[in-house]
Structure 1
C-alpha cells in the first residue's frame, strides 16, 4: 500500500504537466510555458517535500538500475548523500546480503523491471551501509511506468525492520536465548530463578540448581574445529532436554557450561537423581561426521534454602560444587558444602601460582626406575613432574594437574615435561653414561593436538635422541573416555616415528578390551591397585595372571606398577610379567640421584632381603 501511495503522488503531480502545445500566438504560448514550468517546479518541490516527510526510505532508478533519486530517510539508512549517489549503480548504493549466509543478495529493482511487477525483498534481508555497518530492512520494489505504460525504471520503498512488531518479538527472544542451542541464556535464567525462589518461599518447597561443565571440551573444539564443537554443544542441549521436566529450565551459561533449574523439588535426592541421569545421558558417545566423541561431565548442585536465599548465591555455590566435582575426577557430581569455598579458593591460588611456576621454571622432574624381571636389569624409567609450591610445599601431581587441565595449562606443562625429559637424557649421554628409555605421561587432551608429532620430531632431532628412547603413557580411563579420531591419529603418527605407546593404570577402566584394538599400543602398565591387592586372595592373584596373559597374548609388554613387597615380585616372576616398578626397587629419584645409578654402570636386581628402595645396585 505504501508503495502504491508514493507512486500515485509522483504520477498525479508530475505527469501531464506539458500539455500546452496548442498553436496559439507566441506571447500567449510563452506565458503558458512559464505557468507550466512554475507548476512543474511546484509539483516537484511538493513531491520531494512529501517523500522527505514520510517514514520510509524511497530510491528510484532508471532502466539500467542507476540511481535517480533518494529521499532523506534513504540517505540516513544507506549512508549515501543524494548528490553522491545519483547516477551510480543501485547495487553500489543499496548493497543487500542474505541475513543467514551474508552472501550478496540480488537487488529487487532489477526483478521488478524484468518481471514488470511489484516484488518483495527477501526475508532477513540485510543492508550493508556505506560505512560497512549492517541493518535489517524489509518492504518491496515496483516498476515505474510512463503515461503510455512503458517501463522507465523502478522504485524501492523500505524501512528499518527492527521497528516492526514481528522484529521486536524476534529481538526480545534473541535477548533471552542462546543463538547456538536455542536454550534460555543467563538473563532468562536469572529471571526464572528469582521467580522460583519467590514461589518456593511462599509454598515451602525447595529449588535446585545443577551447574555442569563438559570435561575437556576445549581440546575437542581446538583440534576438530568450531563446527564440530558447536554441533557437540547442540547435541548436549538436546540430551539435557530429555532429562528434565517441561517445567524446569535448561540454560546455556556460556562456553561449555550449562545450568539446569529444577523449580520445585521435595528433597535433595531428587536433584541427585537428575544429576546422575544427566551424567549417564551425556556419557553416551557422540557421532559427529567421522568422529566418535566421548565426553564426561562435572556437576555441582546447590539448593534453596539450604545453600542460599538469592539467585546469585545459589549460582555461585553450584559453580563452586562443580569445580570440586571436577577436582575429584571426571563424571562426578557434588552437592555444595560450606567448606568448598575454601577449597575453591585454594584451587584459584594453585591456578595463579601454576602460571608463575611455568614462567619461572619452578617445576622439576623425578625419575623412578623400572626393572626387567627376566634379567633383573634396569630397563627404563618414568619421568614424574613435581612442584614445590612456595606456600603449600611439595604438591602431588594429583593436586595440581587436575587444576592445570581445568584452566588450560596441561598442554604447556606437558610440553615442558617432554622437553625436560629429552634434554636430561641428552645431558646424561653427553657425560658418557649409558641411558635407558624414558616414559612420559600425557593426557588425551594433549594427544588431540595434531601438531604434537611434529614438535616431538623436532625435539628428538634437537637432542639427537632416537625415537625408541621415548615412551608415551596415557591412562586407560582418559583414553577410553576421550577416544576420537584425532587421538588415534596422533598415536599412530607417534608409533610410526618409533615412539613406544603405553596404556597406564590398565584394568581400572571400562570397556578396555572392546576398544583396545583401536590404538597402536606397545605396552600396558598394570594399575598399582591390583598389585597391592594381589596377595589378599586367590581371586586377585588370578586377575593379575589374566591381565599378564592378556597383554602377552597380544604381543604387548606388561609392566606391573606399585610393587612394594618381595612376595608381590615373586608372584610376578612366576606369572612371567615383563617388568616392574615400585618402592621395592626405588622411590622416585632426583635427577642427581638417578644419575648416580647411571654412573654405577650396569644395574641388577638383587634377589635378597635388601630393604625396599635399595634393591637396585650395580653388578
Structure 2
C-alpha cells in the first residue's frame, strides 16, 4: 500500500503535467486551425475554408451541386485607405463584414478572400432570381454610409455572380468566372450586379487569343499609325493630325483600337504600345519634314496608367520628359477618367509638367464621362474635344445641339480650344462654325491616312500649314490675342 501511495504521489503530478501539455497542444492546434480557416481581421472564413467547405458540399450528393458564388468588390475603398490610413480602412472592412453577415442564412458561407474582396457561396439550389435579389440587397446595404471616428465614408460595391455547375465545378473556376462578371459590372458603373454568361465566356476566350496576338504584334512590329487631319473651322486651313494606332494582324486583318485596347490595358501592354506609337509618329514626322512638308501639331492618345505615377517610371513617360523638341509639335489626348482617378494629384502634377514643356493637353470625348466643372478648372488642359456621339445628332436632336452649344461656350469662357470630332456632313460643319467651334476633324475632310498618303494630302492643301496657335479668349478679338501654344 505504501509503495502504491508513493507511486501515486510520484506519477500523479507527471500525469497532470502531460494532460495539461496535451490540452495546450490541442488548444494550439485549434488556434492554428482557426487561423488557417479564418480571416484574422474580420473573423470571416478565408479562401482555405471556402474551398474546403464548398468541396464538401459538392461531394455530398448530386442535388447539392447547384450553387452560386457572389464576388463582392468594394468600389471606393482605396480612397479610405489612402486618405485616412489603414486603421480607418480596417474598421471599414469590419463594418462591411458585419453587414454581409447580417444578410447571411443557413445556406450561405461568407468569406473575405482579398484586400477589399468578399465572396458569398449560396448552396441548396437557390433560384437565380433569389441570388440576384441577394446581390442587390448587398449593393444597397453597402451604399449606406460607414462611420469611422465620426467621419462618414461612402464605399459601395459591385457584384459578379457565377453558378455551379454551369460556370465551373470548383471554387477556383467559379472565382474566375465571378471575377470576370464583377469587372463587367464595374464597366457598367459602380454599384452594379452582373451574372456570368455564355457571351462573356466566348468573349473571354477570344480575349485570351488576343492577348497572345498582342504580345506577338509587339515582337513582330505589327502596329501601324494612321493620321486623321484637323482643320481650322474659320478658313479650312490644315492645323495638324491626330495619330491613331491600328493593329495589322496576320490572323485578324486591320483592327481598330476599340477591338484591342481594353485587352492591352488589362494585360499591361498599353504602355509598350504607346512607346511604339511615339516612336513611329516621330519617325514619320521627321520623314515629312525632310521632304519639306510641315504636318503641324500631332496629337497622341496617352493611357491613364501612364499618368498616375512618376513619368520617369515608364519608357513612354521618359520619352515625354527627355525629348525637349516635343513641345513644339506634340499634343496628348486624355479622357475625363484621368480626372477621377484616385491618384488625381499625381495626374495633375504630370499634366502640369508636360504643359510647361509646351505639350498640349487635350481632353478627349468631353461630355461622356463623370468629371465635374471643378475637375475641369483644376486640370491644365488646353483643348476640349466634343465627342462624336453629340456631333452626329446635332441636326435632329435638340438636346445634342444644346450640349454642343454649351461645350463651345464653356470653352470660350475658359479660353480653351474646342475641337469637334466625327464631323461627316456639311450641315454639321456649318452648325459648329456658327457656334464658334475652333477646330474640326472627321470623314467630311479626310479619313485617317496611312503615313505614305500624308505627303500627297499636305501637298494638296491650298495653303501652307497654319501657325500652331491656341485660341486665348479675350473681350477684344484680333490677331494679338493668338499666342504660341505652350500649354
For normalisation by structure 2, the TM-score amounts to 0.74
8 Å CA contact 1:471–1:499 kept in 2: the answer is yes
8 Å CA contact 2:300–2:330 kept in 1: the answer is yes
Gaps of 5+ in 2: 1-16, 147-152, 466-487
> Which residue in the other structure is 1:526 paired with?
386
> Which residue in the other structure is 1:343 paired with?
203
- The verdict on how the C-alpha distance between 1:251 and 1:439 changes in structure 2, with shifts beyond 3 A counting, is farther
Q: Pick from 412, 427, 431 the counterpart of residue 567 of structure 1.
A: 427
Cα distance in 1 for partners of 2:129, 2:335 equals 33
Q: Pick from 51, 55, 66 the counterpart of residue 190 of structure 1.
A: 51
> Which residue in the other structure is 1:397 paired with?
257
**Deviation of residue 504 (structure 1)?**
0.9
Cα distance in 2 for partners of 1:408, 1:228 equals 29
How big is each residue's C-alpha offset from its partner over 1:155-188, in whole Å with a ceiling of 9 and x where there is no partner? xxxx9xxx85554334223322456776533211
Gaps of 5+ in 1: 1-53, 56-158, 287-292, 606-619
8 Å CA contact 2:71–2:118 kept in 1: the answer is yes
**Deviation of residue 419 (structure 1)?**
2.9
> Which residue in the other structure is 2:97 paired with?
241
RMSD over aligned CA atoms reads: 4.4
How big is each residue's C-alpha offset from its partner over 1:552-596, in whole Å with a ceiling of 9 and x where there is no partner? 211111111111111111100000011111111111111111232
**Deviation of residue 505 (structure 1)?**
0.8
Q: Pick from 448, 466, 474 the counterpart of residue 308 of structure 2.
A: 448
**Deviation of residue 447 (structure 1)?**
0.8
> Which residue in the other structure is 1:303 paired with?
163
> Which residue in the other structure is 1:597 paired with?
457
Cα distance in 1 for partners of 2:366, 2:177 equals 36
Cα distance in 1 for partners of 2:139, 2:278 equals 34
- The verdict on how the C-alpha distance between 1:546 and 1:323 changes in structure 2, with shifts beyond 3 A counting, is closer
Of the two structures, which has the highest relative contact order with CA contacts closer than 8 Å and spacing of 6 or more? 2
> Which residue in the other structure is 2:446 paired with?
586
Higher helix share: 2
**Deviation of residue 421 (structure 1)?**
2.2
> Which residue in the other structure is 2:68 paired with?
208
> Which residue in the other structure is 2:411 paired with?
551
Name the SS of the counterpart of 1:449 in structure 2. Answer: coil
- 1:351-390 maps to which residues of 2 (within 5 A)? 351-390=211-250
- The verdict on how the C-alpha distance between 1:201 and 1:213 changes in structure 2, with shifts beyond 3 A counting, is same
- The verdict on how the C-alpha distance between 1:370 and 1:265 changes in structure 2, with shifts beyond 3 A counting, is farther
Name the SS of the counterpart of 1:583 in structure 2. Answer: coil
For normalisation by structure 1, the TM-score amounts to 0.60
- The verdict on how the C-alpha distance between 1:324 and 1:590 changes in structure 2, with shifts beyond 3 A counting, is same
8 Å CA contact 1:531–1:563 kept in 2: the answer is yes
The number of residue pairs the alignment matches comes to 437
Matched, 1:422 2:278: no
How big is each residue's C-alpha offset from its partner over 1:94-118, in whole Å with a ceiling of 9 and x where there is no partner? xxxxxxxxxxxxxxxxxxxxxxxxx
8 Å CA contact 1:441–1:474 kept in 2: the answer is yes
8 Å CA contact 2:390–2:400 kept in 1: the answer is yes
Name the SS of the counterpart of 1:592 in structure 2. Answer: helix
Cα distance in 2 for partners of 1:175, 1:295 equals 29
**Deviation of residue 539 (structure 1)?**
3.1
- Greater Rg by CA: 1
Q: Pick from 345, 357, 369 the counterpart of residue 497 of structure 1.
A: 357
How big is each residue's C-alpha offset from its partner over 1:528-571, in whole Å with a ceiling of 9 and x where there is no partner? 11111111133321221011111221111111111111111110
How big is each residue's C-alpha offset from its partner over 1:463-504, in whole Å with a ceiling of 9 and x where there is no partner? 662414111211114532555222222112212222111111
Cα distance in 2 for partners of 1:250, 1:560 equals 50
More displaced, 450-459 or 484-493? 450-459
- The verdict on how the C-alpha distance between 1:387 and 1:228 changes in structure 2, with shifts beyond 3 A counting, is farther
8 Å CA contact 1:422–1:459 kept in 2: the answer is no
